[in-house]
Amino acid sequence: MSNKLIDEEVNIKDNTGNEPEKRPGGEAVYDIVESVILSVAVIFILFTFIFRICVVDGRSMEDTLYDGENLIVTNLGRAPRRGDIVVFHETGYYNEPLVKRVIAVGGEYVDIKSTDHGLTVSVSDRIDDDGCLVDPEVLTEDYAVYRDVPPRYSYDDYPVYVPEGYLFVLGDNRNHSSDSRFEGLGLIDERRLLGKVVIRVTPFSRFGTVG
């Protein structure tokens, strides 16, 4: 006796016993369009209020960031900390967004000394009667580079106090950076922050988190 495959038409019915009504093709298209519009709206909201895309302009953050790289920046989460790379809108001398590294936050003192190999940067929350830092933390700055040109800043007036609500920032390319050492920029008001750099988008060969 041979085995045969028998094709049977199976009618799927709803609880009333009637065949379900087929949806017109136009409704399916409408659903797709609605989903696309919703997705675009969500992305728009995210990149308007939570994330931003910023482009590096200049050499001040080499070798961490290079001119023309695209970054994703967020203002969501904790307050800025030492070591964070942040973007802020400077409204005075430059009147444009700048990207730098946080060295000290409000309530801290910063001292900078020139050495034969670059700079020694120290931070503390106290100074003594002689104006010296008490129990300073000397920063290990593997990211800092010094090249091409001689230093252009004087540190005779240091230590510098950072008031609450402000940040002391430096560029990683120390001899090519206008930052909190520069009188035209100075300390950064936290209200000017656009956010913390979290991801480098392009070039794709360097895609990833930034630290």
Output the pLDDT for position 6. 39
Taken in order 168, 70, 94, 47, the sign of the CA dihedral is negative
Reported as a single tens digit per residue, the pLDDT across 147-168 is 878 778 889 999 999 999 999 9
Q: Name the catalytic one among 60, 122, 124, 177.
A: 60
φ, ψ of residue 193 to 5 degrees: the values are -70, 135
Reported as a single tens digit per residue, the pLDDT across 61-81 is 999 999 999 999 998 878 899
Q: Distance between CA 211 and CA 208 in Å, rounded?
A: 10
- Is 60 noted as a catalytic residue in this protein? yes
- For 14-173, strand residue ranges (E) read 51-55, 70-74, 85-90, 96-105, 108-115, 118-124, 137-138, 160-162, 166-170
> CA separation (Å) from 143 to 6, 59, 60, 62?
73, 14, 12, 9
Instruction: Tell me 94's DSSP state.
Output: S
Reported as a single tens digit per residue, the pLDDT across 118-151 is 999 999 999 999 999 999 999 999 999 998 787 7
- Domain residue spans of the chain: 53-209
Rg (alpha carbons) of the chain, rounded to whole number: 28
Count of beta carbons in the 10 Å neighbourhood of residue 37: 10
CATH number of the 53-209 domain: 2.10.109.10
The pTM of the whole model exceeds 0.95: no
Q: Are 61 and 99 in contact (CB under 8 A)?
A: yes
- Is 177 noted as a catalytic residue in this protein? no
Q: Whose CA is closest to 108, among 74, 135, 76, 143?
A: 135
Output the pLDDT for position 200. 94
Q: Name the catalytic one among 39, 100, 124, 196.
A: 100
Residue at 20: amino acid letter: P
